[in-house]
Chains A and B, each alone.
Chain A
Amino acid sequence: MINSPHTVQGLDTHGNTNTMKDAQITQQLQQWLIAVANNRDKRAFAQLFSWFAPKILRYGVSHLNSSANAQELLQDTMTNVWKKAHYFNADKGAVTTWVYTIMRNASFDMLRKMQTQREEMLSDDIWPLVEAQTAQEGEYTDHLMQKEMKRYLSLLPDAQQQVIKGVYFQHLSQEELATQLGIPVGTVKSRLRLALSKLKQKMGGKL
């Protein structure tokens, strides 16, 4: 079922140029998505939209049999990208994989709606976008908080992530961290301050 000629990345017969280009695209897409997540950046969203739209439409036409359905799929998918951008976690995979998941889910729910009388959306339970978060017997505590924290953390620039992880997850002192990163203690302090205020803002004062 996956016998397409271009399945595996890295088996690239045209030398390194493609791989380099791929890496650039990957990074560019990620920057746009993070701008949407952090700043509700509409221009970045428009960029993402133009990059994905033709591909989503092509998929929609071949899976849902009409261009009207393909349009609806495009709208559904990109609406979710806009509304759920803050759940994207770069550690878990590329932006393309994330968008694919959202598109596949939307397409699955549309197909079911076309084929049955039923309205319930099953796709997010079958292919969860975010790891299971259940409201079971008061389990809504540290573990969940940490997971949520990690997700917000992944939205910060690398340098800021580093200091937060160092201080709060590895429990290093600011001096130790400065030595480890080879930067002045003052820089650690200012990065930490910046990162914390951003996190607070993202988490709605839950920190």
Chain B
Amino acid sequence: MITHHPSDELLAAFTQGELTASLSIAVAAHNELCPVCQEKVEKLNAQHAQMLFDTDNETVDEASNDIQEVELSWMSMIDDITDDDSQSLLVPIDIKSVQLSYDKVQLPRALSNVSLKKWSKLGDVSRARLELEEEPIRSSLLDISPGGVVPLHTHKGFELTLLLDGSFEDDMGTYHAGDFIWLDKSHTHSPRTTDGCLCYAVLDDAMEFKEGFSKLFNPIGSFLY
């Protein structure tokens, strides 16, 4: 049962194509599992379409003597487009599966054409970065093995975690597949998983480890970013 959803602001920005690819993927992957947000996005699509298209200020902004020229260029574009009479055919999507520490798991459709870098492992966590080139924003898949714990940390920027498979707990509660968890500086937590889980994480800065002992884990702070 999904209990954590993207905010309405985020859904609106998503619908308008205003989020980075990494966050768009996060919202899309959540929506693949969440009919509630999916429906909201469909409504938003219709609203934005209406705002944009159902306006009466129908004018071509160019001065009137340019109109003929504009129409000529449109005519040639129309000819150009309709010259090719073929229709697109559905290409079945190639859904990727990944072998994790605890199971083999299917990735969401939103990730089907994104390249993953190699997996690397530190402690209980294996990480594969996505090749999206959106520095300083980074996104990764995190495979946390059964019994795994991420030491208590906070975030310098924001941390978005989308739980794709399995479950984990922190001091704030238990999370299940589909949960979309947005944290920032004001949150400190230490996620742990009993049976293992797969997360999609987006961060815009390294994690900062809190407690004296956890400082030993500093490398993991930049590893997870």
Contacts and interface: CB of A to CB of B under 8 A. Distances in A.
Nearest to B92: A135
B63 interface: no
Interface in A104-158: 104-105, 107-108, 111-112, 116-118, 120-123, 125-128, 130, 132-136, 140, 148
Contact of B45 (A49, A84, A100): A100
Contacts of B42: 92-93
A45 B78 contact: yes
Secondary structure of the A contact surface, majority rule: helix
Contact of B111 (A7, A125, A128): A125
Contact of A45 (B59, B82, B132): B82
Interface string B59-77: 1110000000000001001
Interface in A34-90: 40, 42, 45-46, 49-50, 52-55, 58-59, 74-75, 78-80, 82-87
A9 interface: yes
Contacts, number: 150
Contacts of B81: 45, 75, 78-79, 82
Interface residues of A, number: 65
A181 to B, nearest CB: 31
B77 A108 contact: no
Interface stretch (B83-91, B194-202, B208-216): B83-91
A8 to B, nearest CB: 8
A202 to B, nearest CB: 10
A96 B54 contact: yes
Contacts of A20: none
A98 to B, nearest CB: 8
A152 B82 CA distance: 21
B76 to A, nearest CB: 11
A1 B16 contact: yes
A6 B51 contact: yes
A99 B49 contact: yes
A94 to B, nearest CB: 7
B95 interface: yes
A80 to B, nearest CB: 8
B9 A1 contact: yes
Interface in B95-133: 95, 109-115, 131-133
30 contacts: A1-B9, A4-B51, A7-B47, A7-B50, A8-B47, A40-B85, A54-B61, A55-B52, A59-B52, A75-B77, A85-B87, A87-B90, A94-B46, A96-B52, A96-B54, A97-B46, A101-B45, A104-B17, A116-B132, A116-B133, A121-B113, A122-B24, A125-B109, A126-B25, A130-B90, A132-B93, A133-B90, A134-B92, A134-B94, A140-B92
Interface of B: 9, 12-13, 15-17, 21, 24-25, 28, 32, 42, 44-55, 58-61, 74, 77-78, 80-82, 84-88, 90, 92-95, 109-115, 131-134
Closest 8 CB pairs of A and B: A100-B49, A135-B92, A116-B133, A97-B49, A108-B17, A96-B53, A126-B28, A1-B12
Interface of A: 1-2, 4, 6-9, 22, 25, 40, 42, 45-46, 49-50, 52-55, 58-59, 74-75, 78-80, 82-87, 92-94, 96-97, 99-101, 104-105, 107-108, 111-112, 116-118, 120-123, 125-128, 130, 132-136, 140, 148
